[in-house]
Amino acid sequence: MKLKRSLREAIAEQVHDGDAIALGLALESGIPFAAVHEIIRQQRRDLTLIGPISDMAFDQMIAAGTVAKVIAAWVGNVAGGSGYGFRRAYEQGQPRRIVMEDHSNFSVGLALKAAAMGLPYLPTFTGIGGDIVRGHPRIRPIGDPFGGPDLLAVGALRPEVAIIHVQRADAQGNAHLWGNLGLTVEAAYAARRTIVICEQVVPEAVIRSDPNRTVIPGFLVSAVVEEPGGALPSSVQGYWRRDFEPFLAYHRMSRTPEGLQSWLREWVLDLPDRAAYLRHMGEANLARLRVSDRRLAAEANFAP
């Protein structure tokens, strides 16, 4: 049974100490914060985080001591720049030392794409002449067998788990996502296991009515969880607006280790689950962020 009763159950089953986890793949939207917080509550250790730009999700996981390594193009807080949790870990080894594998957005995308394609690497021109690729563990110079200019090979990156937040999925994990995609598809195809978190579990007829919108076929999915608002404070197209203030609040609080720990207690450790997080936000905030107006796509006729 792929459909889980709770995110707690899905994380307990699918995410283990030492796993490499890809998340935050749609960039600033659909960040699976509910899953991030559940992983922190379940005290996973020695994780490797994979993503393009992670906004404050990676920062929180690093500050909570769950992370040993980060493979990413950008780690911080889009609202404020610096990620103080990341900086303290990288600069001072607090709460623990982390290994950083720097990428650009394209190179981390190519690493996932190579794994998604079943290839050992993909060639690219990006990064030539810069310091990211110098002595890089996953990026090496190669020649062009057809006689063109030299390139860089970006080695495949296969996450143990990809965590994806989508608008809707059926109980088999067939997932509809619209709006930002980022690296969602590459990561889901590359990962050994994919957790799909959705705003709504829908009947399979809804999915089959619009197969082009299925970005992840269910046979690639290990677990499905319905968790409305599970990406807040990031946005979900058609469901939730971005809540800007929590990013600023986290930015302010995380300046000191004490402030950050107090933020983690208030918003993660002292709450049992996402339902409690939403109650803590308050109905007025939820009402402000919930999308109620409609901008529907035109019908597409699939009649044979």
Residues of this chain that interact with another protein (CB under 8 A) are 26-29, 52-53, 72-76, 78-79, 81-83, 86-87, 90-91, 102-107, 109-110, 113, 124-132, 149, 178-186, 234-235, 237-238, 241-242, 244, 291, 295
Handedness of CA 255, 278, 174, 38 (dihedral sign): positive
Cβ 41 to another protein, closest distance in Å? 26
Q: Which residues pair with 194 in a beta bridge?
A: 162
124 or 174: whose CB is closer to another protein?
Answer: 124
CA distance linking residue 147 with residue 301, whole number of Å:
47
Specify the residue, 130 or 304, whose C-beta has the smaller distance to another protein.
130
Least Å distance, CB 3 to another protein, is: 27
Among residues 147 and 149, whose Cβ is nearest to another protein?
Answer: 149
Which residues face 155 on adjacent strands? 121
Residue 122 CB, shortest distance to another protein, in Å, is: 9
Q: Which is nearer to another protein, 158 or 241 (CB)?
A: 241
Using CB atoms within 10 A of its CB, is residue 18 exposed (0-12), middle (13-18) or buried (19+)? exposed
Q: How far is CA 77 from CA 80, 243, 254, 258, 276, in A?
A: 5, 13, 11, 18, 24
| Cα–Cα distance for residue pair 166/198, rounded to 1 Å | 5
CA distance 142 to 153: 6
Q: Shortest Cβ distance from residue 149 to another protein (Å)?
A: 7
Give the C-alpha separation, 152 to 122, whole Å.
Answer: 8
Query: Which C-beta is closer to another protein: that of 20 or that of 79?
Result: 79
Least separation in angstroms between residue 86's CB and another protein is 7
Tracing tokens 């250790």 back to the chain, one arrives at 45
Taking the complex as a whole, the smallest distance from the CB of residue 43 to another protein amounts, in Å, to: 25
Cα separation, 206 vs 265, in Å, equals: 39
The residues near 5 (Cβ < 8 Å, ≥ 6 apart) are none
Which residue, 11 or 26, has its beta carbon nearer to another protein? 26
Helix (H, G, I), strand (E, B) or coil at 293: coil
Of the pair 205, 297, the CB lying nearest another protein is at: 297
What is the nearest approach in angstroms of another protein to the Cβ of residue 27? 4
47-53 and 67-74 as β-strands: parallel, antiparallel, unpaired?
Answer: parallel
